Chain A
């Protein structure tokens, strides 16, 4: 059975070729393709009122950096842009809010919840509800895939703190998910 197949990497390549050709439509195309996704990324880190500013800075950084960006395969452009948005968000959070990290030691095991039925916007909302420190570490570790070593360096905390905070974050998130499911 035949079907329509659109690969992201072709789109990314096409966009990059436009930039190489100094096509002045290229920024708009890139923007339209990724702005909604990057909005969701930033809003996982910062409050709504700051999302617009951070996105603006992100796109400026992106447009400035694109001429020297090296395409490394499908999705690499998206990953690079995400990294920029995350780092800018993180910088903002560090500058504008006080996150307190306390190493709480061992915590209880987490009952792994079933998330398949939960829509992405609901999960996104749960992540936003996490307290600042937990949210940062959860986002960086689980979503962005950074290591505890990197997180520790970025946030100025110990690796063990990062690990225990992550555990707490997961536990809290699991609790939110269960409460949501019990309501149904």
Chain B
């Protein structure tokens, strides 16, 4: 059945209206087949019915309270979104100083076996109260009754419809998402473009000194002076590592938004060789970022959720430094250089995803996507400068934490 019809059916399945006035009183006049012998005293009956009404009200309130907690103020704290890359492969050859491949081949990032734990507004709970209902057998189904006299004649009971073998009610998972749900997730990701090295010439970060400077004080300057033009500095970028916390907000049944805070670590190996000396070291950059994304659920049922998402990331380099060691004419020294620049790295991404519900609280998802990193306008060389366009594949497990229905 089409989605809109299912939606209407589900809503009508719960919809209630105010009962007609005095209906119960009219019913109470009709002898009940299961009534005890003798009737209670009227006043005692009143007292009991009041307390029952109160109990029923409390029950209803509890159900709605449960629903409102589920819907409105749910702040499920969820576990990490852990994307584990095949680290071994990358770290086996971190120092392959390859000339920058200037082809337009986009790097491929892979995130495998991610584990994302978040709450989900649709919590298909296998034990939900809205499971498939079974048929009522014919003999239990006094489906018809002659209109009985108001003074309480017991009506004849006739069948109108034959026993149907189809399940009349498909109890769908609750897809009403007027709920304003907050979800919290922690995530970690490692993005692995394939060709991660680049080389560049120049000494952006280091000043040159006068030619007769004491090279012992600054062997790097000497090396640069001697080696200028002979061989350029090469950076091999390692895979970025990103961890973060994100909060999700369900706007409508289909649309949700997510934001959060991420920390990203970019590390690159530095290599430079020349006639008289070599330099090697590591550049480390730390970013604090804010991601923002929206997600559109194109199709969702009990088992599957197919969605698309688009996002914007802003990462600020809060600190960066390079640690390098030099060998020059038998002298060696090391240097730690802290960067003054704090570039802002912006990127956009789009992805499509599908989640499959394994159990009521665990789903498996895959999200291939593309992200594009903009020039941050700085001199610092990062993996994103060499590979601004990335394909990525997110795959993971999503754990539902929180109230189920």
Of the candidates B4, B16, B27, B74, the one whose C-beta lies within 8 Å of that of A37 is: B16
Are A25 and B127 in contact, CB atoms less than 8 angstroms apart? Answer: no
Cβ contact within 8 Å between A69 and B140: yes
Binds A, one of B61-69, B204-212, B239-247, B383-391: B61-69
Known contacts: A3-B402, A57-B148, A123-B11. The answer to whether A51 contacts B20 by CB under 8 A is yes
A52 to B65, CA, bound (A): 30
Cα distance A168–B26 in the bound complex, in angstroms: 39
Those of B150-201 within 8 Å (CB) of chain A: 154-155, 157, 160-162, 164, 166-171, 175, 177
Report B59 CB to chain A, min CB distance, Å. 7
Chain B: which residue is nearest A10 at the CB level? B129
The CA-CA distance from A31 to B25 in the complex, in Å, is 11
Q: Are B143's CB and A143's CB within 8 A?
A: no
Interface residues of A in 51-67 (CB under 8 A from B): 51-53, 55-57, 59-61, 63-67
A146-B52 contact given A51-B20, A73-B133, CB 8 Å threshold:
no
Q: Determine whether the beta carbon of B4 is less than 8 Å from that of A114.
A: yes
Q: By CB atoms of chain A within 10 A, which of B13, B63, B167 has the most?
A: B13
Contact of B4 among A70, A115, A121, A146 (CB under 8 A): A115
Q: Residues of A contacting B137 with CB < 8 Å? A: 70
* Partner-binding segment picked from A81-89, A99-107, A129-137, A157-165: A81-89
Contact of A146 among B19, B62, B135, B161 (CB under 8 A): B161
Secondary structure class of chain B's binding surface, majority of residues: loop
- Chain B interface residue number, banded: 35 or more
A45 vs B402: C-alpha distance when bound (angstroms): 39
Cross-chain pairs A/B with CB under 8 angstroms, 30 sampled: A3-B69, A3-B402, A4-B69, A4-B403, A24-B36, A24-B40, A32-B56, A36-B17, A39-B17, A39-B18, A40-B12, A60-B154, A64-B157, A65-B140, A65-B157, A70-B136, A70-B140, A76-B136, A79-B168, A83-B136, A83-B143, A87-B161, A112-B3, A115-B8, A116-B175, A120-B11, A123-B8, A142-B9, A144-B168, A173-B8
- Contact assessment for B2 and A112 in the assembled complex, using a CB-CB cutoff below 8 Å: yes
Q: How far is the CB of A13 from chain B (nearest CB, A)?
A: 12
Q: Indicate whether B254 reaches chain A with its CB closer than 8 angstroms.
A: yes
- Whether B164 pairs with A57 at a CB distance below 8 angstroms is no
- The answer to whether B59 and A11 touch across the interface, beta carbons within 8 angstroms, is yes
Contacts A35-B19, A55-B19 given; indicate if A150 touches B12 (C-beta within 8 A): no
Do A124 and B53 touch across chains, with their CB atoms under 8 A apart?
Answer: no
Is B298 among interface residues, defined by CB-CB distance under 8 A? no
Instruction: Flag if A60 contacts B131 (CB, 8 Å).
Output: no
Closest to B27 in A: A59
B213 at the interface (CB under 8 A from A): no
B91 at the interface (CB under 8 A from A): no
Asked if A1 meets B143 with Cβ closer than 8 Å, knowing A24-B36, A73-B134, the reply is no
Write out the residue numbers on chain B whose beta carbons fall within 8 Å of the beta carbon of A115. Answer: 4, 7-8
Question: Cβ of A22 < 8 Å from any Cβ of B?
Answer: yes
